[in-house]
Structure 1
Amino acid sequence: MMTPTFTHGALSRLAIAVLALSPAVLAQETTTSAEPSATTTTSAEPTATLPPVAPVYNPGVGTMTLVGCYAEPSGARALPSIYLDANQTVETCIAHAKAAGATFAALEYGQECWYGTSVHGGSARRPLEECNFSCPGDAAEFCGASNRLLVYSEGGVAPPLDSDTPTQPATIGAYTFNGCVTEGNGTRALTSASFASDSMTLQACATFCDAYKFFGVEYSHECYCGDVFSEGSIPAAGDCTMVCSGNGLQYCGAGNRLSSYGKP
C-alpha cells in the first residue's frame, strides 16, 4: 500500500481547512445541552384553624349533679373549705370534695373549688348564665364567676336557703297528704317496712313504699310503710316541723311525729 505524500503547499492548504472548520466542529462535538434540573417544590398544606369551643355547663360527675348558680352571702362564704388549682376543672373539684367527705362542691372564679356539707343560708340563687367563667383546666366547661358559685350536690339536692320556706306538699306521686300523726302506743305507727337516709326526701320514701297504702317520714330522715296505722297513732296537726335531710324545702315529720301520706 502506498503512503500518500503531500507537498508543502498541499499540507498548508489542508491545515488551513482544518483550522477553519475546527471551532464549529469542536463546538458541535464537545458542547452538550445540560438537561434542566428538576426542581421539586413542596407546598405546605395550610393548617386548619378550628373555632374555639364554647363552654358548657357540666351536668355533674358520678352522684354529684349540678343544682345551679349561687351568689356568696354578705360578709361570709357559702361553703367553708377551699381547694385552689391553676388547672381546675369540674371533675377535679368534685373529686377533691368527695374525698373530703363533702356533700356540696362549688366552683368560683375559675380556679377556686369550695366544698362542705352545707351551704350558708344567706346565699342566693342566681341565673345560671351568671356563672360564666371557663375552667382554667378545661375551657369547654364553666367554673363559676366572680362572687358566683356553680354548685354541685350529692344526689342533686338543692341547698336550703334562708329565703326559702319549707312546705308540706299536698301530693307526692300517687299519694295524698294524710296529716301529721304520732307513733302508736309502744310501737311504730307503720310497721311493714322502713329505711333511713341522710338524703331523705318525701319522693324517696314514696318510691320505697310504693307497694303499700301509706308512708310516713319521721325525724327528718326515717321512712316507714304500711297498709294500716297501729293503735294509738293519732293526728298531731302542726307538729311536723323538721325539714327533710335531703330536701330543706319539704317537711319530714319531727321527733315521734310522721308526715304521713296515703293512696286513695
Structure 2
Amino acid sequence: MARLALASTPLTFIVILSLARFAHTFATPFVPLNWTTLSSCAVDNADRIIADDITTQTADNTPASCVESCAGLGFGYAGVEFGNECHCGTGIDDALESAPDSDCNVACVGDATLSCGGAWRIQVYTFPALRPGAWAYQGCIADTQDTPAFTSTSTQTFATNLDLVNQCLQACSRLGFSFAGVENADTCQCSNGGITTDAQKVAEAECNSLCPLPGDAGFEFCGGVQRLGVFKFTG
C-alpha cells in the first residue's frame, strides 16, 4: 500500500500542475475594426511607450473595447494593461521591448477569459497599414450643392473629429479610394471620380475650420464651410 501511495504522488502533482496552468491560460482576443496585434506583451514604463498616451480605467475593459474606444477618438494605437487600463495614442515612443506572454497575466475586468496586460506589461494594437504610397494635398476646393467638389462621394463618419484628416485618409485608403476630403471640421468624403471640372479652387484661408489633434498637439485645418480640403493618393 505504501508503494501505491508513493507511486500515485507524482501523478497527483502533475494533474494539479496541469490544472494550475490551465487556469492561467487565456483565450485569444478578438481584435475589431481590422486592427492588428503589434505586440502580444511588451514592457511599459512610467513614461509610457505609447506616444501621447491617454489612459482610462474602465469596468468593461477588454482588447476589443479598448481598440474601439481609441479608434473612436481618432487614435491609431491602443493598449491594455493591468486588467482595467486602456491606453490610446498616436504611435510608439521607442522600439518595443517584448516580454513573455506569461507576463501579461492579469485578466480583463470586462472578460476574465482574456488577458489585459500585467504589471508594467501592455498588449499593443494598431490600425492596418495604409496602402503603399502617400497622399498629396490638392488645395481648398469650393463644395456647394450646385457645384460639388467631387464627382462622386462616399461619406465616412467617425465618433469624434479628433485628428480628422488622419482618420479620413485612413478610411478612404482602406476602402480603396483615390481622393479624400475634409469639410467644416466634421465631414470626410472619399471619391474615385476626383475633382469636378466646374469646381473652383479657392484661397487656403477659406479652409479655416479647426479640428483637435491628440494630446496637447493643438489643432489642424479641416476644410471650411462649403470648402473641401482635398487630398489625392499618389502611390
User: Which structure has the highest helix share of the two?
Assistant: 2
**Looking at CA atoms only, which structure, 1 or 2, has the larger radius of gyration?**
1
Higher relative contact order (CA 8 A, sep 6+): 2
